Structure 1
Amino acid sequence: MRIALGVEYDGTDFLGWQRLSHGSTVQGALEQALSRVAAQPVTVTCAGRTDAGVHGRCQVVHFDTDAERDMRSWVLGACSNLPTAVAVLWAQPVPGAFHARFSARSRRYRYIILNRPVRAALDARYVTWERTPLDASAMHRAGQALLGEHDFSAFRAVSCQAAHARRCVLGLDVRREGEQVIVQIEANAFLHHMVRNIVGSLLPVGRGQQAVTWLAHLLAGRDREVAGPTAPSSGLTFLGPRYEAHWGLPAEVSA
């Protein structure tokens, strides 16, 4: 049987999603918990790997098992064996053709910038602090140059292992909500550090240090060394993937 799960996590104290032999990861914690519920080894495949310190609102994974458990047992059993920073939100059987990564039509991220003179205390794990007043409207206008399919080499980490840098950005929105400036972006897929590098390049526009047209110039130039620095991981949350409705997954991850 193939089962899909929705998983949320606070990534602050993990070395990222992907299982590692030398430290704590979300995948490692989830597989250990599921293996205890199944009483046999379980390996999961996710919709999109996240870096150290990045959070997940509804990561989707799938795994195959012949252990007979009802869906409620997978959810409650996993949660009882997971650290408090990780929770399984839902579980449901899916067809064998479903693949958490390859069946996803898009992925969505949100980046939150606390824009005030004083740093965060309560929300420090989930935002990035910027004391200089930001023009969210200018950031939004600048970001529209990234819509569509392009070569995103200017926003690609040197360590990125993707075969090519072409990605299709379906939506990019920057808005202010009180003291927060929120960047939300959806694409068919993302390069390593792509969202954080885009945010790092939007910030100089928001501060008035660069023109609204700067993002378009960076995109055309394809030079990572010219673009802005990589924004901190704390403000980034993977909202989740989107799948075609025929897979029958919960509304939060269905197109």
Structure 2
Amino acid sequence: MRNIKLIIEYDGTAYSGWQVQPNGLTIQEVIEQALAKMLGERTPLHGSGRTDAGVHARGMVACFKTARTMPLRAFREGLNCLLPGDIAVREAHEVPLDFHPRFDAQAKHYRYTMLLDDLRSPLVRHTAWRVRGKLDIEAMRAACRLFVGEHDFAAFRATNCAAKTTVRRIFSMELVQEGRLLHLDINGSGFLKNMVRIITGTLIEVGHGKMSAADVARLLKGGDRQHAGMTVPPQGLCLMQVFYPAQSGE
């Protein structure tokens, strides 16, 4: 038996998120269907986590087990021949049988992209969220620094989040401007449901002068979700990379 790790890129616009569910087509379901065609049997695919409807990925990690002896390149190329144009397997690696893409993950890098323009842009409508009005980016950067470290992110999770603890560690968080696009890059040990999108909404409030750094500091001491910013739309969010210990095969 072999454990095959896939690095997957996808445009989540047309899907109801990563995880299989009864009420909509998902990324996991489409890849499992392709695996069944390629291997001749149903094969469960285990992901490094979930992404919501409309969210994208450049580096989703998933694994499946198989007894097939085909070369790694054949797994990648075979799946890509069967997958639609908005999903692609970028890499395939063989990893130890006890490797699990979710439980062995040490950190994740998410990026949220904003379009700073009063006019809409058809070319980035699926990969960025348009923010109107001038933003104080330096004030937003100052607020970003407050998030780094271990904090209680109770104010930055969806109301239906089922996580047992709201404490998470953020390793780095920065804003990178690229022309009209403003990227928020967050690296952390783990994330609560909608956490990145609520943090982004809160930073936008800071950028518009509606919240201060002191307000953010209070929220990070176990504040109320109602006092944080909005949950920004999903299309600007992308899972960039998942990090693992060297011995896991990453």
TM normalised by structure 1 equals: 0.94
Aligned partner of 1:151 in structure 2 is 152
Identical counterparts, % of pairs: 39
Aligned partner of 2:124 in structure 1 is 123
Aligned partner of 1:37 in structure 2 is 38
Write the mapping of 1:70-89 to structure 2, written as runs, cut at 5 A.
70-89=71-90
Provide the C-alpha distance between the structure 1 equivalents of 2:132 and 2:121, rounded to a whole number of angstroms.
Answer: 11
Unaligned runs of at least 5 residues, structure 1: 250-255
Provide the C-alpha distance between the structure 1 equivalents of 2:120 and 2:218, rounded to a whole number of angstroms.
Answer: 32
Write the mapping of 1:59-138 to structure 2, written as runs, cut at 5 A.
59-138=60-139
Residue 209 of structure 2 is aligned to residue 205 of structure 1: no
The CA deviation at 1:221 is 4.3
Secondary structure of residue in 2 paired with 1:183: strand
RMSD between superposed Cα atoms in Å: 1.1
**Superposed CA offset, 1:188-215 (max 9, x none):** 0100000000001110111122223221
Provide the C-alpha distance between the structure 2 equivalents of 1:177 and 1:221, rounded to a whole number of angstroms.
Answer: 33
The CA deviation at 1:177 is 1.9
**Superposed CA offset, 1:2-49 (max 9, x none):** 110000000011000000122110000011111111111111111121
Aligned partner of 1:252 in structure 2 is none
CA contact (8 A) 1:160 1:191 kept: yes
Write the mapping of 1:127-206 to structure 2, written as runs, cut at 5 A.
127-206=128-207
Write the mapping of 1:53-64 to structure 2, written as runs, cut at 5 A.
53-64=54-65
Write the mapping of 1:239-254 to structure 2, written as runs, cut at 5 A.
239-249=240-250
CA contact (8 A) 1:139 1:206 kept: yes
Residue 217 of structure 2 is aligned to residue 216 of structure 1: yes
Secondary structure of residue in 2 paired with 1:159: coil
Provide the C-alpha distance between the structure 1 equivalents of 2:144 and 2:218, rounded to a whole number of angstroms.
Answer: 12
Provide the C-alpha distance between the structure 2 equivalents of 1:116 and 1:95, rounded to a whole number of angstroms.
Answer: 47
Aligned partner of 2:23 in structure 1 is 22
The CA deviation at 1:106 is 0.2
Give the AA of the match of 1:185.
I
CA contact (8 A) 1:7 1:89 kept: yes
The more displaced of 63-72 and 26-35 is 63-72
Provide the C-alpha distance between the structure 2 equivalents of 1:46 and 1:13, rounded to a whole number of angstroms.
Answer: 19
Secondary structure of residue in 1 paired with 2:50: coil
The CA deviation at 1:62 is 0.9
Provide the C-alpha distance between the structure 2 equivalents of 1:34 and 1:73, rounded to a whole number of angstroms.
Answer: 12
Provide the C-alpha distance between the structure 1 equivalents of 2:79 and 2:21, rounded to a whole number of angstroms.
Answer: 20
Give the AA of the match of 2:164.
A
Aligned partner of 2:233 in structure 1 is 232
Secondary structure of residue in 2 paired with 1:122: helix
Q: How many residues align?
A: 249
Give the AA of the match of 1:19.
V
Provide the C-alpha distance between the structure 1 equivalents of 2:36 and 2:171, rounded to a whole number of angstroms.
Answer: 37
**Superposed CA offset, 1:155-200 (max 9, x none):** 0111111111111111110132221111010110100000000001
TM normalised by structure 2 equals: 0.96
CA contact (8 A) 1:7 1:90 kept: yes
Give the AA of the match of 1:144.
R
Secondary structure of residue in 2 paired with 1:129: strand
